[in-house]
Amino acid sequence: MTRVIHTGDTHIGYRQYHSPERRDDFLSAFDSVVDDAIENDFDAVIHAGDLFHDRRPGLSDLHGTISVLRKLERAEIPFLAIVGNHESTRGEQWLDLLETLGLATRLGAKPVVVGDTAFYGLDHVPESKRDDLEYEFSPHEQEHSALVAHGLFTPFEFGNWKSEVVLKEASVDFDAMLLGDNHKPGKERVEDTWVTYCGSTERASASERDDRGYNIVTFDGDVALSRRGIETRDFEFIPVELDGDEGIDRVRDVVREYDLDDSVALITIEGDGGDVTVARVEQFVVDEGALVARVTDRREIEAEEDELSVSFADPDDAVRNRVREMGLSETAHDVDEIVRASKVADSNVRTAVEDHVAERISEDIDAFEPAQENAKGEVADTMINEESEQTASGVSGESTEPETPASDSKTASSVAVATDDADAVESTDDESHDGTTATANGGDSADSTETRDATEEPQAPRTAPNRRSPRMRLIPRTPVPGTTKFRWRTICEIRPNSPLEL
């Protein structure tokens, strides 16, 4: 007989709600699982991925994890684990470091035997690469076998990885699939095999209302599954329905009915009633003893939804228009692109945002200024160049340029207009298609120089859906003698992972 704890999605290091106490909670939940394993003398602790919340865990998170795993080592209980999508890196994994320290065993295609059961591992694999998987595993001679995997498997909700395909194509017959990634626990019978999620050990989102815990799996002729809860910080979900002219006083009355001591309080306001200031409610809830307070006024959301006109023929365009109306800074627009529309992997989004913001801070602090409004009261969807005080609209294609005398070359060379120009795009098209990045070199060349009227209106940009448009800067150089035209230098910046498509 083999009796193990099946856990996963511990997300150590998650600073939920920007709270250091919540960050500690995730490590404490994992510590509780380990204490249970030692106290009840389990044969092993099986972790189904996302041990850490981030692929770059902090030093304190690593130190805390090592301290917890040391307890398992002293109790001679093996810790078997795989790599999840949150913690996955391009090279060596943090799990490999823990294995080097003798604190963990990384599961893979070769069996790791505990008692009379062989355990195998399947790290998280992006959906685009799953068709290439062959599910080849080394044979074993044990009475039972189990596959530990990380992903959203069918037949569970949101499943996009077919568990029946894995079981049919695998070179080993498994008695159980022990899964991670879905934070909701559950079990199903597929191809005469138990397929089960253990759920997360702490609430990583407001949708996780059920108690947290882990699975107990017993291999003894057949496979027996049971569940055990662990004690975690209280979450209080507080609905408030407002009628007539009811407002914040009614919200306070409802909140007082709950025991908020050191809890996370999530208040949802619905109905009608008067205006309610979210910040005042949250401060009141904290004063009542809550660790964290978050308020969602559904009335505001519903009102915004009523005001929006969305064409489902082009939902991306509707989203872009809504973001444009928010008056965000240039850098905020860049972050929106990285998070919402770029091809950056989910697990790398945080790093990509941090790197981009750090780069913009070093380059141009003005990029953090809110967008200006044009004469029509609309927010201009363009960039404010550090060399100019003028703003061009990236939506309408309109720009405001002062008349520049031909003799005033010094003034002309200091004016920069942010725009997308069709002719300029064509001049850099060859460079963009080979995956390289075109950058400014400070000089003129035959390919990047053209003559335009100083008063000519720039053309409206042509953009590819779900792609970052090339950022074009047309910088006037020396005026052409005897004319009202200028010689322009084109600078094109094309971000990685966003090829130029017109």
- What pLDDT tens digit does each residue of the chain (502 aa) get? 999 999 999 999 999 999 999 999 999 999 999 999 999 999 999 999 999 999 999 999 999 999 999 999 999 999 999 999 999 887 789 999 999 999 999 999 999 999 999 999 999 999 999 999 999 999 999 999 999 999 999 999 999 999 999 999 999 999 999 999 999 999 999 989 999 999 999 999 999 999 999 999 999 999 999 999 999 999 999 999 999 889 999 999 999 999 999 999 999 999 999 999 999 999 999 999 999 999 999 987 666 666 655 555 556 666 766 776 677 777 887 787 778 655 566 667 788 788 778 877 877 666 677 765 443 444 444 333 333 333 333 333 333 344 444 444 443 333 333 333 333 333 333 433 343 333 333 334 334 333 344 444 444 444 444 434 444 444 444 455 555 444 444 444 444 444 433 3
CB 199 within 8 A of CB 183: yes
The bridge status of strand 292-297 relative to strand 264-271 is parallel
User: Quick check: 17 and 235 in contact, CB under 8 A?
Assistant: no
Q: Is there a contact between 326 and 315 (Cβ–Cβ < 8 Å)? A: no
**Using CA atoms, how far apart are residues 115 and 393, in angstroms rounded to an integer?**
69
Nearest to 239 by CA among 249, 227, 251: 251
Residue 413, C-beta contacts closer than 8 angstroms, at least 6 positions apart: 475, 476, 477, 478
For the record, the structure tokens of 44 come out as: 């092993």
Lateral strand order in the sheet of 264-271: 235-242, 264-271, 292-297
- Specify whether the CB–CB gap between 181 and 49 falls below 8 A: yes
Closest CA to 123 of 153, 150, 96: 150
Residue type, 427: S
Residues 213 and 184 sit within 8 Å (Cβ to Cβ): no
228 closest CA partner among 73, 42, 51: 42
Helix, coil or strand: residue 141: coil
Catalytic residues: 86
SS3 331: helix
The continuous run of DSSP H or E covering 356 comes out as helix 349-363
Burial of 430 (0-12, 13-18, 19+ CB in 10 A): exposed
Contact 256, 229 (CB under 8 A): no
Q: Exposed (0-12), middle (13-18) or buried (19+): which is 59, by Cβ within 10 Å? A: exposed
Closest CA to 82 of 175, 3, 8: 8
Measured at the CA of 297, the angle between CA 294 and CA 300, to 5 degrees, comes to 140
Assess contact for 490 and 424: CB atoms under 8 A: yes
**Which element (helix H / strand E) includes 303?**
helix 298-307
Buried b (16+ CB within 10 A) or exposed e, 465-483: eebbbbbbbbbbeebeeee
Tokens of 456: 């000519």
Closest-CA residue to 179 (of 146, 143, 224): 146
Read off the pTM. 0.63
Task: List the Cα angle 395/353/293 in 5-degree steps.
Answer: 100
For residues 325 and 4, give the distance between their C-alpha atoms in angstroms, rounded to a whole number: 54
Long-range own/partner contacts, residues 156-161 (CB < 8 A, 24 or more apart): 156/182, 156/184, 156/186, 156/188, 156/197, 157/182, 157/184, 158/182, 160/127, 161/127, 161/130
238, amino acid identity = I
CA atoms of 18 and 295, how far apart (whole Å): 15
| Pair of tokens at residue 359 | 């780069």
Tokens coding 172: 């080993």
Per-residue confidence (pLDDT) for residue 486, from 0 to 100: 46
Bridge partners, residue 417, by sequence? 474
β-bridge mates for residue 222, sequence order: 220
